[in-house]
Structure 1
Amino acid sequence: MSVRLGTFRAIYVVALCCVGSFLFAYDTGIVGGVLTLDAFRKDFGYTKKAATNVNSTAVSILQAGAFFGCFIIWPITARFGRRWSLVGSSFVFLIGSTLQVINTGSIACFYVGRVIAGFGVGAATVLVPMMSAEMAPATIRGQLGSCFQLFFAGGVCVSYWVNFAVIQHVASSTLQWQIPIGLQLVPGGIMGLGMIFVKESPRWLVKRGRREEALKNLIWVRGGDSDMVQVEFAEIILAQEEELRQSEGLTWRELLLPTNRYKIFVAITVQLSVQLTGNTSMAYFAPQVFTSVGAGSQTSLITGCFGIVKVVAVSTFCFFVVGRIGRKTAFMGGAAAMGTFMLIIAILVDKFPPVASTNGISKPGIAAVLMVYCEAAAYNLSWGPLAWLYLGEIFPTRIREVGIAIGAAAQWLFNFALSQITPYAITNIGWRTFLMFAILNYAIVVYAYFILKETAGRTLEEMDEVFNRGGEQHTKADLEDPVEIEQARKGEKDADFPQAV
């Protein structure tokens, strides 16, 4: 077996998967800049007065499509596998992107393209971490798992610089907005075509009973056969059998057990907190945000540097911070820092209102921009990469898929809501938008202190103990028949309660 070949193939497969994360991030960043272009507004025939509504709808409607895409992809990937599901997601995204890039003159048609692309994006955000985790070797799974957030930050960064380039070098015309939107067809095509030439997940194949093919695929992705590969394959089989045994008899009512109910509450509120930090809103509407703090004619350049800050911060977290400090420390410290930076931005914008000038950005404007950069760095050193890690580790095997699905759906729902609110807030209340996010971040510090549990250094099997409230313990044996638990608790027959899919 060639260790180097195996490492190369694992990195190649995971990187190819994470193009899906890059894709979502690129769209996240590109749309905010495109919507500020006069050429786009003229081609689609809406007035400046309607711009705020168009901005809000164009961003949030993709989130709505992605929300439903998360649910639609589960039965598809269960039946057809990870690889072909990613190919299908890419194809759907390409259809939606094509509708957006064609100058139809109809904003409704543009919205339809956004919704269709959203289905593909939502599916990819479910499939990418799943496929990456299943294909990566245990020795480098942590580093490869971080690629999701790295590619996301990279996609946002590239989108900002593409916006900067077309503003600087392309005349105000249809081509000016078609170039940045059309470029997203490239990563979409790379992911779809690339997946055709890689192997299916061995773990999915084992789950489908195709063990011989699973072993061949595992040998391929590890760079050859060896005793280590055979041991890993045996562990995959044992883990799959244990998972089936653990999930047998799972009912929706088991989610209402005190410890599980608490974890689901945490999963939902963590995703809500991610949006309430205000950083996602800044990512979507960065050009508008920088204009509001006085960036003036330097907005596109400053937005591009904003993307670089995010990449550097998340890289620092993934390689040097994660695992070295506790989860609660990172959550609380990140929220406190973001709240402070947002408060400073609000004060600067209130006391030194932005003034249009051809002489460049003012000193208070420079200070406000630096505070926005610091806020983005604080987010990417805490809540940005940590929220998904926390979500993935708090649930036991029995309800992990259900719990993560609920958390992912909550993320898209709250993302949709905040993308609807933010452009109106920036337009109507100005600096108070930053004050609002400052207050919310300080509230998140209190939430993290009292609600979140420290999970660093604890095994997945210890999570029930970590999250237990009121002293009620649930052992694995207790959970093997949740219906009997409910019967004992309520003293009623429950044999006809429906099984979870």
Structure 2
Amino acid sequence: MGLLTLKEDRPTPKAVYNWRVYATASVASFASCMIGYDSAFIGTTLALPSFVNEFQFSMLDKSEKALISSNIVSLYQAGAFFGSLFAYGSTHYLGRRKSLFVFISIFIFGAGLMLGANRERGLGLIYGGRVLAGISVGASSMIVPVYISELSPPAVRGRLVGIYELGWQIGGLVGFWINYGVNLHVPPTRTQWLIPFAVQLIPAGLLFIGALWIRESPRWLISNGKREQGIENLCWIRNLPSDDQYIIEEVGFIDEEVEKYRREVGAGFWKPFASLKIRRVQWRFFLGSSLFFWQNGSGINAINYYSPTVFSSLGIRGTNTGFLTTGLFGVVKTALTVVWLLWMIDHLGRRNLLMYGALGGSICMWIIGAYIKVADPENNPSDVVPPAGIAAVFFFYLWTAFYTPSWNGTPWVFNSEVFDQNTRSLGQASAAASNWFWNFLISRFTPQLFNALGYAVYFFFASLMILSIFFVFFLIPETKGIPLEAMDRLFEQRPVWKAHGKVMDGLRAQDEEWRQNVDGAELSHDEKISANIDQQESV
């Protein structure tokens, strides 16, 4: 198989893989650029000499400074937790596209508030702005993966949702390097730390403009009674006419799923909550949310938000040196994310990436922790990093190489796929809220963990990564290439590690049988859709 060879669930016209679907996913992913930047820039901004002087951090003791830093970071996660829940109501009534307008406006207001902070006014505007920015990014983290997933052809769904993760990494890369640049080239005045705060407005503004062009999700429109507009948008995104067999089949899939869940659960704001009584729905909510526990248990957000602290524990000295090392961390993550979305996610699959990434990452964490235990670089400072320290930094980057193409974006892809049309918004809201909840705990207590545990923090993260392998192997089915409307079948199969093959074989057999039945028949557009639904229900 070539680098970009696709494994399809059914014969697919080349027109389906057109520029519009990639461009739409890219525009929506400006939201993740915003999220990535906000997650990355704050840790190094708090270490800028101008910020330290502005708010007189040098007059605080170590514990007071750690508390303020963790508050500035963690208020963002607290806002994101609630924002991901608010987005459920917004997407139910307004749809995916209009909801992005609402929350991006909130973000722009919050980012503007932060620019008004100074020594006289104190940190209150930064606290308030971080909460509003958090609400917006939490909502975006719920809306965008669902939106992209609903637009995507099954064979490239992982790649397209992966653009969301790539945007996150590009935003993070800029966030890491912006502070290196201003620390090197801008005098340590108020302007120095205002620049990183102001740059937040760039991806937000681009998303606001781009949202004027993108179209609403066809699946959302059809499920909310706007069938003609939904089919029109589907034809636009697939670049096919409405009477093309591929469009007829896809509309049939959507109609069948919508009808099934209206029959079993019902339509309405509160009906998806009622569906939580169904065991299979509960199970998917549990799996989706749990993946973010294991993701945060890898230690990634401790590193994202407090990278200067992490590199200091490895013996890296000096503000510029620490920022440079942090910036290289961002480069490694971004480069590997490109490889992940172009090839790994839709070829190696979700399960394999999660298990191999956890195994390799855990080994690296054990080695890093052992080095800090033996060498104790924080209490034995040196102007030159010793060879063992260089090796520890190497294993840190190796850990990044294992983590990035596995746990970094794959949980978002999985959660964008596994819920049915009626519970997709609520399911993604639950998963995003879980991410931000664990994110909040890690960001709030990381400074205290490093102060209290030292090297043992790395052993803690290494142990959790080992445990995640067993969780994935026994409980997470492979979802690559499975149509959204066939996820119920996937989760019915046992054992979990063989479910994907069984469902793909069944889908190919079903498609072949349906094509033989209607081949050459003089059927109308609606009759073809009806025949497709009947065939699905019989299977």
Q: Say yes or no: does 1:466 pair with 2:487.
A: no
Q: Say yes or no: does 1:343 pair with 2:354.
A: no
CA contact (8 A) 1:339 1:441 kept: yes
Instruction: Please state how far the C-alpha of 1:293 moved relative to its aligned partner.
Output: 0.7
Relative to structure 1, the CA distance from residue 251 to residue 296 in structure 2 (aligned partners, 3 Å threshold; closer, same or farther) is: closer
- TM normalised by structure 2 equals 0.79
Partner of residue 377 from structure 1, selected from 401, 421, 424: 401
Hey, what does 2:137 align to over in structure 1?
121
What is the alpha-carbon distance in structure 1 between the residues aligned to residue 282 and residue 213 of structure 2? 42
Partner of residue 36 from structure 1, selected from 24, 47, 51: 47
CA contact (8 A) 1:84 1:196 kept: no
Instruction: Please state how far the C-alpha of 1:446 moved relative to its aligned partner.
Output: 3.9
What is the alpha-carbon distance in structure 1 between the residues aligned to residue 475 and residue 151 of structure 2? 34
For 1:22-81, what per-residue CA distance to the aligned partner results, in whole angstroms no more than 9, with x for missing partners?
A: 110111110011011131122234444222112211111111111111111222222222
Partner of residue 294 from structure 2, selected from 242, 264, 273: 273
CA contact (8 A) 2:155 2:480 kept: no
Instruction: Please state how far the C-alpha of 1:90 moved relative to its aligned partner.
Output: 1.1
CA contact (8 A) 2:265 2:275 kept: no
Relative to structure 1, the CA distance from residue 20 to residue 454 in structure 2 (aligned partners, 3 Å threshold; closer, same or farther) is: closer
Hey, what does 1:12 align to over in structure 2?
23
Q: Say yes or no: does 1:195 pair with 2:218.
A: no
SS at match of 2:454: coil
One-letter code aligned to 1:340 = I
Relative to structure 1, the CA distance from residue 11 to residue 33 in structure 2 (aligned partners, 3 Å threshold; closer, same or farther) is: same
CA contact (8 A) 2:302 2:442 kept: yes
Greater alpha carbon shift after TM alignment, 135-144 vs 28-37 = 135-144
What is the alpha-carbon distance in structure 1 between the residues aligned to residue 201 and residue 341 of structure 2? 28
Partner of residue 362 from structure 1, selected from 383, 386, 411: 386
Relative to structure 1, the CA distance from residue 265 to residue 211 in structure 2 (aligned partners, 3 Å threshold; closer, same or farther) is: closer
The number of equivalent residue pairs is 467
What is the alpha-carbon distance in structure 2 between the residues aligned to residue 246 and residue 379 of structure 1? 40
Q: Say yes or no: does 1:205 pair with 2:221.
A: yes
For 1:284-335, what per-residue CA distance to the aligned partner results, in whole angstroms no more than 9, with x for missing partners?
A: 2112211221121321111111111111222222223224446444333222
Hey, what does 2:105 align to over in structure 1?
91
What is the alpha-carbon distance in structure 1 between the residues aligned to residue 282 and residue 153 of structure 2? 33
Q: Say yes or no: does 1:62 pair with 2:80.
A: no
Relative to structure 1, the CA distance from residue 418 to residue 429 in structure 2 (aligned partners, 3 Å threshold; closer, same or farther) is: same
Relative to structure 1, the CA distance from residue 466 to residue 455 in structure 2 (aligned partners, 3 Å threshold; closer, same or farther) is: farther
Relative to structure 1, the CA distance from residue 426 to residue 389 in structure 2 (aligned partners, 3 Å threshold; closer, same or farther) is: same
Structure 2 unaligned blocks of 5 or more: 1-12, 497-539
CA contact (8 A) 2:110 2:129 kept: yes
Percent of counterpart pairs with the same letter? Answer: 30
Hey, what does 2:9 align to over in structure 1?
none
Hey, what does 2:330 align to over in structure 1?
307
One-letter code aligned to 2:361 = M
SS at match of 2:315: coil
Question: What RMSD, in angstroms, separates the aligned Cα atoms of the two structures?
Answer: 2.9
Hey, what does 2:248 align to over in structure 1?
231
Hey, what does 1:415 align to over in structure 2?
439
Instruction: Please state how far the C-alpha of 1:345 moved relative to its aligned partner.
Output: 0.7
Instruction: Please state how far the C-alpha of 1:268 moved relative to its aligned partner.
Output: 2.9
For 1:114-163, what per-residue CA distance to the aligned partner results, in whole angstroms no more than 9, with x for missing partners?
A: 00111111111111112222334556433222111111112111211112
Partner of residue 131 from structure 1, selected from 124, 147, 155: 147
One-letter code aligned to 1:268 = S
What is the alpha-carbon distance in structure 1 between the residues aligned to residue 36 and residue 173 of structure 2? 9
Q: Say yes or no: does 1:159 pair with 2:175.
A: yes
Partner of residue 434 from structure 1, selected from 452, 458, 464: 458
Instruction: Please state how far the C-alpha of 1:275 moved relative to its aligned partner.
Output: 0.8
CA contact (8 A) 1:215 1:233 kept: no
SS at match of 1:460: helix
Relative to structure 1, the CA distance from residue 468 to residue 244 in structure 2 (aligned partners, 3 Å threshold; closer, same or farther) is: farther
Instruction: Please state how far the C-alpha of 1:216 moved relative to its aligned partner.
Output: 4.2
What is the alpha-carbon distance in structure 1 between the residues aligned to residue 351 and residue 375 of structure 2? 36
For 1:380-409, what per-residue CA distance to the aligned partner results, in whole angstroms no more than 9, with x for missing partners?
A: 122222222333444455644443332222
Relative to structure 1, the CA distance from residue 374 to residue 196 in structure 2 (aligned partners, 3 Å threshold; closer, same or farther) is: same
SS at match of 2:136: helix
Instruction: Please state how far the C-alpha of 1:276 moved relative to its aligned partner.
Output: 0.8
